[in-house]
Amino acid sequence: MLTCALGALACAGAANAQEAADSTSLEEIIVTAERRSVNLQDTPLSVAVVGGQDLRAMQAGGDDILALAGRVPGLYAETTTGRIFPRFYIRGLGNIDFYLGASQPVSIIQDEVVLEHVVLKSNPVFDVQQVEVLRGPQGSLFGRNTTAGIIKFDTIKPTQTLQGRAQASYGSYGTTTFDGGIGGPIVADKLAFRVSALYQHRDDWVDNTFAGTSADGTKTPQSDAMGGFDERDIRLQILATPTENLSVLASAHLRQYEGTSTLFHRAGLKKGSNSTQYAERDKVAFDEAVNNPQAYDTAGTSLKIDYDFGGVKLTSISAYETTDGYSRGDTDGGAAANYPVGGVPNGFGQSQGVVKDLDQVTQEIRLASDTDGPLKWQVGGYYFDSRDITNFYQRAFFVRTNPNNWVSLSNVNTSWAVFGQVSYDVTDKLTVTGGLRQTDDTKKTRLLKSADTAAGVVTYTGRRYVKLSDSQPSWDLSALYKVSDDVSVYARVARGFRGPTIQGRSAVFNSDFTTANSETILSWEAGFKSQLLDNTLRLNATAFTYKVEDIQLNGNDSNGNGVLFNADQAEAYGMEAEAQWKPIANLTLTAGLSLLHSEIKDKRVYAQVCALNGVVVCTVQNPTIQIGSNVYAQIDGQPLPNAPEYNIDFTARYDVPLANGGVLFAATDWNQQGYTNYVLYKTKEFYSDGNFEGGVKLGYSAPGGAYEVALFGRNITNEKNLKGVIENYMASVFNEPRIVGISVSAKLR
């Protein structure tokens, strides 16, 4: 249909266009999933790759790295704390905890530096060369807290050739994006630089319709009160190559962000239904929290040194990251006055989390073979140190009834590891790879200030200091067999672990810390990688199964406070498949599919269900028990939360060659998400099934891609999809609205 629609243009422009003989051949994709550059088709694990240009097209409407959700098979992402707190899930495994100190089983690696804290994981991705999503445990080379996998971002590096690129867009709600970089030689063959920058802006576009009295001074009603953001980022890289054996890459970056935390729509769901029709995306009625502001400043530096001894390369990566900021929100999602019980306002909620002076230091040293022989190896060591002060403020502090209604926590996480990996070509067709890592991980949380009464009386009786430590091995073993030059099969088994976790935020409610021991995973996968039809079709697929022991989950205690706990097991199986096809010249199609079945396995574990003032407000479909006035649902057999049963993505691009060497093009991308449960138990309300979104882009690309002008649309059908919930308030969280606009890009080379 797309080719027919553009047929007339093709006839007009193609007459004088000279097509290359291999115009339908697919380009080779190089990945560094094993810390060395290898063809994607020769990598014995499940890796998805998104090119920098493709990522920028997704983000033209102001999206952040959450735009990857649904565009990579097996990857899901969401947030209920705004742009500063993305949560990632791979093969269904993630963490729904919104605590600022929460760990995640998906690690973010940017330019070989791990970003561990949830705020650091939100660091914007700009001037990127390539994104790699490694599915399944990656503990041998990348360490603990990678039980689900990693998302690896590699930025464009300095070169000795003057190069630059920039993309700017403007669209609905004043959404403005600039993503660019320029670099080149400082001293010929010795010193080079690259400067990269990102700017994103969106106007406030959500009205606050509440017309009553606010206890904390929030000004209402107000049009265009919230929903906007300003993102400003810059990065400088200097590459020194004083000799042909030595290279030194120094990098520094700064981030300034101000925006709106997640907007909860109270009563956006009605009992017995998960329809999104009961709330308007661009209207809320908040009586508190001064329009849900959030702001963070982040800075970081890194130094990578490579020295080639001749057949053996030594690499050192030193990095430092720091951040501080806050996020405040009306957590009940609506004005209590609008929901009275017996004539009395019902359900007040407001909170603020503050990260003060987070400092993360990492050091990695590795020694690796650098030859083309059958044996390849690498060994190394790693050290990690993260320290922060995190404060939590509750409603009484903001409405001035209790200035002591906040807590302060000191968090320290240290870890060290030694690791090694060996890969050997047994024959010219069979390669076997094995890796082993031993990790020690220690977490310490100290309560610096308790939430006291207005008169200063201490009422907290829980622990004020908790220390958890664990030492665990992680390993993987894989084999890849080349059936032919175009088809390979592989199998992999891997073990990983997520370190112990401490949940300290509950102290703000005068509840004791909760903790969880390490979770471990054993994962099996097998698949094939192929390049077919004279290299016009790339088709890769993987089937997997895994078991997580002592999985870390989050629920509520008998007082409704968030708690962290271990369940016995979680099991899952599924598959991922990806295809890229150029059936004819100028037409490129891609498709991805993931299927997943997951289950929590623990008959002893129950989760507190949706309740407000002792009344269950949703429709619970699991067996329940009642303890006092609280109702709990059995979660044995339930799917993991935020684990879509399937995800389908599709893209298409058709180029119409013109006589001057330029092209007109049309591109589109779509994804659909299967049944996804948002809580630990089953209900008729807290899930989505069939969510989909699509984007389009129509434009002109000059000869050689020197510049491009295009019209674009993100969420082009303006779908209003449920992305999260607040259970007791039946509150809904929605996806981003439709954004349409124009984009311009250019290259200097």
Per-residue model confidence as pLDDT tens digits over 212-268: 999 999 999 999 999 999 999 999 999 999 999 999 999 999 999 999 999 999 999
What does the alpha-carbon distance between residue 60 and residue 715 come to, in Å, rounded to a whole number? 12
Nearest to 599 by CA among 637, 634, 569, 567: 637
Q: pLDDT tier at 5 (50, 70, 90 boundaries)?
A: very low
Residue 149 has pLDDT above 90, yes or no: yes
Residue 15 has pLDDT above 80, yes or no: no
CB 672 within 8 A of CB 694: no
Render pLDDT for 673-699 as a digit per residue (tens, 0 to 9): 999 999 999 999 999 999 999 999 999
N- to C-terminal Cα distance for the chain?
36
What does the alpha-carbon distance between residue 582 and residue 538 come to, in Å, rounded to a whole number? 9
What's phi and psi for 128, nearest 5 deg?
-95, 140
Helix (H), strand (E) counts: the chain: 5, 47
- Tracing tokens 């001064």 back to the chain, one arrives at 290
Residue 18 has pLDDT above 50, yes or no: no
- 0.85 surpassed by pTM: yes
In this prediction, what percent of the chain has a pLDDT beyond 90? 85
Q: pLDDT tier at 12 (50, 70, 90 boundaries)?
A: very low
What does the alpha-carbon distance between residue 139 and residue 147 come to, in Å, rounded to a whole number? 7
Q: pLDDT tier at 560 (50, 70, 90 boundaries)?
A: low
* Domain segments of the chain as ranges: 2-748
What does the alpha-carbon distance between residue 79 and residue 92 come to, in Å, rounded to a whole number? 15
Residue 557 has pLDDT above 70, yes or no: no
Render pLDDT for 348-403 as a digit per residue (tens, 0 to 9): 889 999 999 899 999 999 999 998 899 999 999 999 999 999 999 999 999 999 99
Task: Identify the CATH class of 2-748.
Answer: mainly beta
- As beta bridge partners, residue 524 has 493, 545
Mean predicted lDDT score pLDDT of the chain:
93
Q: Which residues, in sequence order, are CB contacts of 149 under 8 Å at separation 6+?
A: 90, 91, 106, 107, 133, 134, 135, 136, 137, 138
Pairing type for strands 191-202 and 175-187 reads antiparallel
Residue 1 has pLDDT above 90, yes or no: no
Provide the 10 A C-beta neighbour count for residue 34. 23
Pairing type for strands 487-498 and 519-532 reads antiparallel
Residue 6 has pLDDT above 80, yes or no: no
Measured CA to CA in angstroms, residue 121 lies from 118, 169, 297, 298 at distances of 5, 25, 13, 11
Q: pLDDT tier at 559 (50, 70, 90 boundaries)?
A: low
Residue 13 has pLDDT above 70, yes or no: no
171-209 as b/e: b if 16+ CB within 10 A = bbbebbbebbbbbebeeeeebbbbebbbbbbbebbbbbb
Residue 431 has pLDDT above 90, yes or no: yes
Q: Which letter does DSSP use for residue 639 in this model? A: P
